[in-house]
A and B are shown apart, each in its own frame.
Chain A
């Protein structure tokens, strides 16, 4: 990293400036084939194994629109309360880059398929309406891999490789209008918007929305205006913001950075900046986003699209329940308090909890596991709870094992360790690790007898009616059994034997 950047404290920054947010979210659709050809879209395949003349941009090849992608785009538009264009076209965005097979990206320019919508997001129990300017269709680019440098970036690399598997995967770019008046909540609003947009997209089943795999990518636009001013300041566009946590941090950082620049009498440069997850800062990108002339013009190889009104209306009626309505319904069904519900949503665990309950766990148990144990693990690993790799059905099964008395909560945590280590199903982990609580009454009884014999003074107290002292003996027994005993049963046995 270059010279240290001066920052104003967040609080100071907000005392003097009003931030305006803008979010551009790129969503990779989960269609089986690419935007303009029949190639597979499966993530993680051998480089350049999912390509054809069309997505490689070979001379003479022509695009043909993936109807499923158009349907997804319309559904996203509808779910975001957008107008759906009665007539629109693709356009070419011309610029040279090795990961772009044709050196133009087939995108949409002034005729997006969806425009003028909104998404209401909840932040700390308050609703903020984020206006959506447009949602348009485009194709993804290939992926460059820079080899030989220390950083994996192009600077310092001695050669670069390009994987075109991603080239041509359908993308929807969702662009908000400037979001103003959020003040100190700006970072939280940005995060909540992306989180709730993800939730909405998941509900539509149009994308995997996995930020870590790049199927949901976020650019954060931010500008500051003097507090109380109506005008918008000069904005920066921060790219590479690829987790919910980063969205929040990047907004906070840019507010502090821009405030320091402005406060020092400087002016903010309109530019692309890059977010660095590791150091939590943004740095100036090389290119100036608006200095490029993309020479847009309508794609002559594709005919205009005119979504039929009847079809659009049918898609509208078939939309899934909107997230807000769904949350209200689930809260009522589960009997969660407002606080419990907010925590669940805030942790990004709503669907996980829902699926865990659907797999047989009680609402309380499902919430307990996801909001404590799983949230803690996710936090330790610096990932989202959805990205942990634990399936709701497995959590439900673990809880069932607890309910059956076959394991206890402490052992359950070890089961999760095993699940994360890829040791199989919960039952397999229990079997392989030998985690089942000891239900052999004989062994348990012997251990209790030994504990009583070894701690006569404690035993005497219990006999004398001090039931609370049983805890000490339970500890001894559990230690003896290496934790693999049902503590409740141990307690019963102790009290039984000591006649209390």
Chain B
């Protein structure tokens, strides 16, 4: 295999690679090696990965090749490499959640999503970078250094799943798994020109997903095409008895919906524009691309209506009460008693368990994590519970009702995914509230548990950076986001004359000497 063919291979979609594997034109080992080479070449600059498991990936690739040779592939994507966000437990492979406090922890078990990837034969290339415990919108809060946006290395790749999005955008993985608590799959997708899906809450097992906020978290696909997302989603989704909140019903056919959408015929589909999620606070170029997308939908035969969801203006405040509350409790387990970092205080000769816990948590958690633990602890405190957590739960119900009402008028809702294109590293690091505003449009879906997709909507005129459009559907109607997402993707490809990522600058291979 020559390096030029390897460079060509990594640019193909998972669906194309699956066809090539089926036809016997390429082996999974070749594919996996091509991606490992690409990681070697460019990840020094991008830093999408926290851990690369070359050995594990190649061994899985060999097994996939054996199955293909025997005519018994484990799944349509058997042999296609995948990257996994470092928030999912991987047996035998370090899992840090981007935190010092889990440095060196090697889980003794696989998350259900990971187990399903393995069963389906996908070699796991490695674990991708993220904001510490998924708290952030830029991946700058990773304890292991930020990931950079392949479109401009001085800019953020979004977050918290910046690693998965950047890996896919820079062809270091054909597909990846992310997690989305308030937009951590969709917003990175928007700012890196990739596709990201947050499934219906309960649609993909959370077992083994290190919880940020249990009632909001959802794992989903990060890909370069809508069809690839559907293929991956079908593999990892579906009921899991280990996750009591997972839905005990078969998934709708997502691949079929994506293929159908690619015909770009949306006659009979009503698309609702959420007035509260457009306009103020959005970058002009983002809005321009969004309005263009709306016009394309009309052209494809969709009926477009405006809908109002008045309670969405409270979504951010609601989110920043519920999330820290759940997170403060979830993160209590990191106490140095059983696994992970253990810091003995310097000034105490015979420290008690409490003193070791305190020293470890002080050194092991970053500032953003501490900030949210404090917020959450406060929100749950006796005397404040009703005013904060209790009230937030009520508003959450109202937000869900707004969705219900909106979905009575429209089959899907759309909005820009993120208010701006990728900002510069460091730009919002000292202003948590500005950082939180990135998720304005994505958070309502998590609060209501409805599915959403972000598909690239083009490049903003003012900075030439990717923008995204978000499509939301009622709970369990994930097929709708695939159908409309695929239609938008086809229409936009026509508009831009091909895949957007083809316009991204070439990354210089890393020629630094290896130490």
The interface of chain A, by Cβ under 8 A from chain B, is 53, 56-65, 92, 94, 96, 98, 101-104, 158, 160, 162, 293, 295-297, 300-303
Distance A158 CA – B350 CA, assembled complex (angstroms): 8
B479 at the interface (CB under 8 A from A): no
Supposing A297-B380, A300-B215, A303-B244 touch, asked if A60 and B332 sit within 8 A by C-beta, the answer is no
Among B157-165, B201-209, B273-281, B432-440, the one that faces the other chain is B201-209
Asked if B207 and A295 sit within 8 Å, CB to CB, the answer is no
Interface residue from B89, B108, B242, B377 paired with A295 (Cβ < 8 Å):
B377
Question: Which residues from B are CB-within-8-Å of A53?
Answer: 89, 107-109
Distance A65 CA – B382 CA, assembled complex (angstroms): 27
B211 at the interface (CB under 8 A from A): yes
Given contact pairs A94-B329, A96-B332, A302-B245, enumerate 11 new A-B contacts (beta carbons under 8 Å): A60-B88, A61-B208, A62-B242, A65-B244, A101-B333, A101-B338, A103-B335, A160-B353, A162-B337, A297-B325, A297-B326
Question: Which residues from A are CB-within-8-Å of B241?
Answer: 64
Distance A92 CA – B325 CA, assembled complex (angstroms): 11
Asked if B211 and A104 sit within 8 Å, CB to CB, the answer is no
Distance A296 CA – B326 CA, assembled complex (angstroms): 11
22 example contacts (A-B, Cβ-Cβ < 8 A) are as follows: A53-B89, A58-B108, A59-B333, A60-B88, A60-B89, A60-B111, A60-B211, A61-B208, A62-B242, A62-B244, A94-B328, A96-B335, A96-B357, A98-B335, A158-B350, A295-B382, A297-B326, A297-B385, A301-B214, A301-B243, A302-B244, A303-B245
B358-388 CB contacts (< 8 Å) to partner A: 377, 380-382, 385
Asked if A98 and B333 sit within 8 Å, CB to CB, the answer is no
**How many residue pairs between the two chains, A and B, have CB atoms under 8 Å in the bound complex?**
102
Distance A65 CA – B243 CA, assembled complex (angstroms): 10
Asked if A293 and B206 sit within 8 Å, CB to CB, the answer is no
B144 at the interface (CB under 8 A from A): no
Asked if B97 and A300 sit within 8 Å, CB to CB, the answer is no
B339 at the interface (CB under 8 A from A): yes
Asked if B338 and A59 sit within 8 Å, CB to CB, the answer is no
Distance A60 CA – B377 CA, assembled complex (angstroms): 21
Asked if A64 and B329 sit within 8 Å, CB to CB, the answer is no
B138 at the interface (CB under 8 A from A): no
Distance A302 CA – B246 CA, assembled complex (angstroms): 10
B-side interface size class: 35 or more
Supposing A58-B108, A98-B335, A102-B333 touch, asked if A301 and B211 sit within 8 A by C-beta, the answer is yes
CB distance from B331 to the nearest CB of A (A): 9
Asked if B97 and A64 sit within 8 Å, CB to CB, the answer is no
CB distance from A292 to the nearest CB of B (A): 10
Supposing A295-B381, A301-B244, A301-B245 touch, asked if A60 and B208 sit within 8 A by C-beta, the answer is yes
CB distance from B111 to the nearest CB of A (A): 6
CB nearest to A303 among chain B residues = B244
Question: Which residues from B are CB-within-8-Å of A56?
Answer: 338
Question: Which residues from A are CB-within-8-Å of B357?
Answer: 96
Question: Which residues from A are CB-within-8-Å of B339?
Answer: 58-59
B202-243 CB contacts (< 8 Å) to partner A: 206-211, 213-215, 241-243
Supposing A96-B332, A98-B353, A160-B353 touch, asked if A60 and B244 sit within 8 A by C-beta, the answer is no
Interface residue from B97, B215, B332, B385 paired with A104 (Cβ < 8 Å):
B332
Distance A62 CA – B241 CA, assembled complex (angstroms): 10
Distance A96 CA – B214 CA, assembled complex (angstroms): 20
Supposing A59-B95, A162-B337 touch, asked if A297 and B332 sit within 8 A by C-beta, the answer is no
Interface residue from B102, B109, B207, B380 paired with A94 (Cβ < 8 Å):
B380
Question: Which residues from A are CB-within-8-Å of B89?
Answer: 53, 58-60
B389 at the interface (CB under 8 A from A): yes
B423 at the interface (CB under 8 A from A): no
Which of B88, B325, B353 has most chain A Cβ within 10 Å?
B353
B105 at the interface (CB under 8 A from A): yes
B55 at the interface (CB under 8 A from A): no
Distance A297 CA – B357 CA, assembled complex (angstroms): 23
Asked if A300 and B214 sit within 8 Å, CB to CB, the answer is yes
B354 at the interface (CB under 8 A from A): yes
Question: Which residues from B are CB-within-8-Å of A303?
Answer: 244-245
CB distance from A483 to the nearest CB of B (A): 59
Distance A246 CA – B184 CA, assembled complex (angstroms): 57
CB nearest to A103 among chain B residues = B332
Question: Which residues from A are CB-within-8-Å of B385?
Answer: 295, 297
Question: Which residues from A are CB-within-8-Å of B206?
Answer: 62, 301
Interface residue from B97, B210, B326, B333 paired with A103 (Cβ < 8 Å):
B333
Interface residue from B95, B244, B326, B350 paired with A63 (Cβ < 8 Å):
B244
Distance A63 CA – B207 CA, assembled complex (angstroms): 9
CB nearest to A36 among chain B residues = B244
CB distance from A301 to the nearest CB of B (A): 5
Question: Which residues from A are CB-within-8-Å of B88?
Answer: 60
Question: Which residues from B are CB-within-8-Å of A160?
Answer: 353
CB distance from A304 to the nearest CB of B (A): 10
Interface residue from A58, A98, A297 paired with B337 (Cβ < 8 Å):
A98
Question: Which residues from B are CB-within-8-Å of A98?
Answer: 335, 337, 353
Distance A61 CA – B381 CA, assembled complex (angstroms): 25
Asked if A60 and B381 sit within 8 Å, CB to CB, the answer is no
Distance A196 CA – B89 CA, assembled complex (angstroms): 48
Asked if A59 and B107 sit within 8 Å, CB to CB, the answer is yes
CB distance from B495 to the nearest CB of A (A): 41
Question: Which residues from B are CB-within-8-Å of A301?
Answer: 206, 211, 214, 243-245
Question: Which residues from A are CB-within-8-Å of B333?
Answer: 57, 59, 101-103
Question: Which residues from A are CB-within-8-Å of B332?
Answer: 94, 96, 102-104
Question: Which residues from A are CB-within-8-Å of B380?
Answer: 94, 295-297
The 10 closest A-B pairs by CB, nearest first: A103-B332, A300-B214, A295-B380, A300-B215, A60-B208, A59-B210, A60-B89, A60-B210, A98-B353, A102-B333
Interface residue from B105, B242, B329, B353 paired with A59 (Cβ < 8 Å):
B105
B237-260 CB contacts (< 8 Å) to partner A: 241-245
Distance A295 CA – B376 CA, assembled complex (angstroms): 10
Question: Which residues from A are CB-within-8-Å of B107?
Answer: 53, 58-60
CB distance from A188 to the nearest CB of B (A): 37
B422-461 CB contacts (< 8 Å) to partner A: none
Question: Which residues from A are CB-within-8-Å of B338?
Answer: 56-58, 101
Asked if A62 and B207 sit within 8 Å, CB to CB, the answer is yes
Question: Which residues from A are CB-within-8-Å of B211?
Answer: 60, 301
B332-356 CB contacts (< 8 Å) to partner A: 332-335, 337-339, 350, 353-354
Question: Which residues from A are CB-within-8-Å of B111?
Answer: 60
Which of B108, B241, B243, B332 has most chain A Cβ within 10 Å?
B332
Distance A102 CA – B335 CA, assembled complex (angstroms): 9
Question: Which residues from A are CB-within-8-Å of B215?
Answer: 300
Asked if B326 and A300 sit within 8 Å, CB to CB, the answer is yes
CB nearest to A37 among chain B residues = B242
Question: Which residues from B are CB-within-8-Å of A158?
Answer: 350
B386-410 CB contacts (< 8 Å) to partner A: 389
CB distance from B195 to the nearest CB of A (A): 25
Asked if B382 and A297 sit within 8 Å, CB to CB, the answer is no
CB nearest to B133 among chain A residues = A59
Distance A64 CA – B246 CA, assembled complex (angstroms): 11
CB distance from A309 to the nearest CB of B (A): 22
Question: Which residues from B are CB-within-8-Å of A63?
Answer: 244
Distance A391 CA – B216 CA, assembled complex (angstroms): 55
Question: Which residues from B are CB-within-8-Å of A64?
Answer: 241-244
Asked if B102 and A61 sit within 8 Å, CB to CB, the answer is no
CB distance from B37 to the nearest CB of A (A): 31
CB nearest to B356 among chain A residues = A98
Asked if B335 and A297 sit within 8 Å, CB to CB, the answer is no
Distance A402 CA – B88 CA, assembled complex (angstroms): 69
Question: B37-53 vs A: 1/0 string, CB under 8 Å?
Answer: 00000000000000000
Question: Which residues from B are CB-within-8-Å of A60?
Answer: 88-89, 95, 107, 111, 207-211
